Amino acid sequence: MIYLADTANIEELKDLFYYFPIAGVTTNPTIIGAEKKPLSLILPQIIDIVGDKRMLHVQMISNIAEDMVREAKTYKARFGLGDNFFAKIPVSKEGYRAMPMLKDAGINVTATAIFTQQQALLAARAGADWVAPYVNRLDNISSHGIEVVKHIVDNIREFKLHTKVLAASFKTVDQVHRVSMVGSHAATIGHEIIERLSSHPMTDMSLEWFERDGKDLYDIEIND
Ligand code: G3P
């Protein structure tokens, strides 16, 4: 499983990309809204951080398939985006219709706002490169986010689909742990949860012990 950053906060992104092997960034209108800055200002800053090797998943805000395609083409052209750009398309009826149109236009697709295995399978059949099930939002309505992710992963294996799972919507480290254990290909996670899953109090304690025990004994001069 690879890790993506589910934030448009520039300070958070700089921090995450500096320290961790983050494979890309995902955004949606809510994430952009949290920064209280327009997309035209925020996207170039995100692109600077992501570069052209890591993935950039940007959600379309249009509701009609033809408009979604126009929107995706506009972003791609305006910001000179290449194969690392993925148009995030919600699995509405128009969204399913837009997916093959985008693929025909040479634009990668991430199907988003997925809550069931059937929505994911339909999106995969419509050509989506990634499908993004919302784990915590499912858990929050007494449903089972991890089980949905597992069923989607199983379908992909069973039907030999090229689509991959980008699990999204996390509120706990345990949710991330569990989606990795059921074989999700990727997880997109906020800054706080990535910080939490990367650390452990016993690691900190062990480092303190190493420092104490090795003090004055590491006497070999380190070369430049
Ligand atoms: O990537 C989808 C994600 O942003 C939704 O997360 O935390 O709003 O449920 P959340």
Alpha-carbon distance of 222 to 224, in angstroms, equals 7
The DSSP bridge partners found for residue 108 are 86
For residue 136, give the ligand 1 atom closest to its CA.
9
Q: Does residue 88 carry a catalytic annotation?
A: yes
Which of 25, 31, 88, 143 best tests ligand 1's pocket when mutated (most atoms within 8 Å of CB)? Answer: 31
Q: Which residue minimizes the CA distance to atom 7 of ligand 1?
A: 169
Ligand 1 contacts (CB < 6 A) are 6, 26, 28, 31, 134, 136-137, 168-169, 188
pLDDT, residue 121, reads 98
Query: If the chain, 224 residues long, is cut into consecutive pieces of 10 residues, what is the mean pLDDT of each piece?
Result: 98 98 98 97 98 97 98 97 98 98 98 98 98 98 97 98 98 98 98 98 98 96 92
pLDDT, residue 44, reads 98
Q: Which residue minimizes the CA distance to atom 9 of ligand 1?
A: 169
pLDDT, residue 161, reads 98
Residues 6+ apart with CB under 8 A from 88: 26, 27, 28, 57, 58, 59, 60, 110, 111, 112, 132
Nearest C-alpha neighbor of 193 from the set 45, 35, 57, 12: 12
